[in-house]
Structures are given as C-alpha cells and as structure tokens.
C-alpha cells in the first residue's frame, strides 16, 4: 500500500497539476491532514530542479494559510465547545494558567513545530485555543515553515537526486538537531 501511495505521489509530482496538489496538501497538513507536504515537494523538485524555490514558495504560502485555518479552528471550537466543558468541571482557571504559560513561549512552540516532524497542526490549533498573539503566530509560522521548505529546496537544487534518500530518511532528525542547536545558541547568548 505504501509503495502504491509513493508511486502515485511521484506521478502526481510530475503532472501539470502538481503545484495545485502541493498547495492543497500543504494547506490541509497545517490544520487537519496527517501527510506532510515534503512527500510531494521532494519528488517535484527532483523532477524539475529549476523550479525548486517556486515549489518551496507554494508550500510555504499554502502551509501558512492552512496554519491560519488551524488557528481559527482552535479559536472557534474552543469558545463554543471547550470552554463550556471546562466551566462545567470547574477547570477553567487551570486553562487560564496554561494559556499564560503557553503564550509566554508560544513563538518557540510554533517555530519548533514548524521545522520538526512534530505535527504542526497541533500547534496551530493550540495557538488559537490559547489566544496566542496572531501577529506572533504569523511571524513564527512564516519563519519556521519557510526555513523548513527552503532548506529542503536548496539541498535538492544544489545536490539533486543523491540527497533525496538522505532527506527522506533523515529529515526529521536533521531539523530536530537544528532546533537543538538553535535553542542552545540562544541559551548560550542569554546565560553565558
């Protein structure tokens, strides 16, 4: 089954509808869909390396737009469903404490989820639920998703098919290491 899905993805990546399909997958992945846009983006760039940065730009724009949908899903559903349940059980005060804690570090959560394999949709929805400042959410989303998609595009553009296997097998690990280094650098600047 996975092989058929992969073969279908490769065929789609080479079709004239590929950019539209990528935009749809990137949009939905940021709010509800489980498959990351990299599955389409990587074979698309391998098939047309001269369009690598256009492909990354489409993934970025659609992903951030989908993140906005996720944010508003969290915001809208929490107010209509989540808050009354918390109030019924007398837990609404705990949520307020959690919201304040989350919002203090929310930009970091969006940044980390945007570049790692952690489901970005969880953070987009959680950001809406907690009322993370929308401008902070947007800046962190654009930076994180841009970093992720444009690094993959640049590597594929520069090194081509040989880097494909490396990216497909180690993408999550590479971004986790990047985030650890990034956070370590900020920690060192602040405390050393």
The 3-state secondary structure of the chain reads CHHHHHHHHHHHHCCCCHHHHHHHHHHHHCCCCCCCCHHHHHHHHHHCHHHHHHHHHHHHHHHHHHHHHHHHHHHHHHHHHHHHHHHHCCCHHHHHHHHHHHHHHHHHHHHHHHHCCCCHHHHHHHHHHHCCCHHHHHHHHHHHHHHHHHHHHHHHHHHCHHHHHHHHHHHHHHHHHHHHHHHHHHHHHHHC
**pLDDT tens column, 79-98:** 887 777 667 777 777 777 88
Q: How many domains does the chain have?
A: 1
Band (pLDDT 50/70/90 cuts) for residue 67 is: very high
**pLDDT tens column, 171-186:** 666 666 666 766 666 5
Q: Which of 4-8, 123-127, 155-159 has the lowest mean pLDDT?
A: 4-8
Band (pLDDT 50/70/90 cuts) for residue 42 is: confident
Q: Could you tell me if residue 12 is inside a domain?
A: no
Q: Could you tell me if residue 130 is inside a domain?
A: yes
Q: At what angle do helices 92-115 and 161-191 cross, to 10 degrees?
A: 130
What does pLDDT average to over the chain?
81
Q: Residue 46: which domain range? A: 21-191
* Residue 192 pLDDT > 60: no
Q: Could you tell me if residue 65 is inside a domain?
A: yes
| Cα-to-chain-centroid distance, residue 87 | 32
Query: What predicted TM-score, i.e. pTM, was given to this entire model?
Result: 0.76
Q: Could you tell me if residue 177 is inside a domain?
A: yes
Q: Could you tell me if residue 16 is inside a domain?
A: no
Q: What is the pLDDT of residue 66?
A: 95
CB 150 within 8 A of CB 53: yes
User: Which one, of 101, 31, 13, lies nearest residue 69 by Cα?
Assistant: 31
Most confident of 40-44, 55-59, 123-127, 128-132: 55-59
Q: Could you tell me if residue 8 is inside a domain?
A: no
* Residue 2 pLDDT > 70: no
Q: Could you tell me if residue 5 is inside a domain?
A: no
Q: Could you tell me if residue 119 is inside a domain?
A: yes
């Amino acid at each position: 089954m996975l092989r058929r899905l992969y073969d279908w993805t490769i065929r789609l990546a080479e079709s004239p509808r590929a950019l539209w399909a990528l935009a749809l997958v990137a949009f939905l992945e940021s709010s509800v869909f489980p498959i990351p846009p990299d599955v389409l983006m990587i074979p698309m760039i391998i098939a047309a390396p001269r369009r690598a940065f256009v492909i990354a730009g489409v993934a970025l724009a659609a992903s951030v737009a989908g993140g906005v949908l996720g944010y508003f899903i969290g915001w809208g559903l929490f107010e209509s469903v989540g808050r009354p349940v918390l109030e019924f059980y007398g837990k609404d005060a705990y949520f307020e404490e959690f919201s304040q804690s989350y919002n203090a570090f929310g930009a970091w959560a969006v940044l980390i989820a945007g570049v790692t394999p952690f489901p970005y949709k969880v953070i987009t929805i959680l950001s809406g639920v907690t009322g993370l400042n929308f401008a902070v959410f947007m800046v962190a989303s654009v930076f994180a998703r841009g970093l992720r998609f444009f690094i993959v595009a640049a590597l594929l553009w520069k090194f081509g098919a040989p880097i494909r296997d490396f990216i497909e097998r180690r993408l999550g690990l590479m971004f986790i290491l990047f985030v650890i280094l990034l956070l370590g650098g900020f920690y060192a600047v602040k405390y050393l």
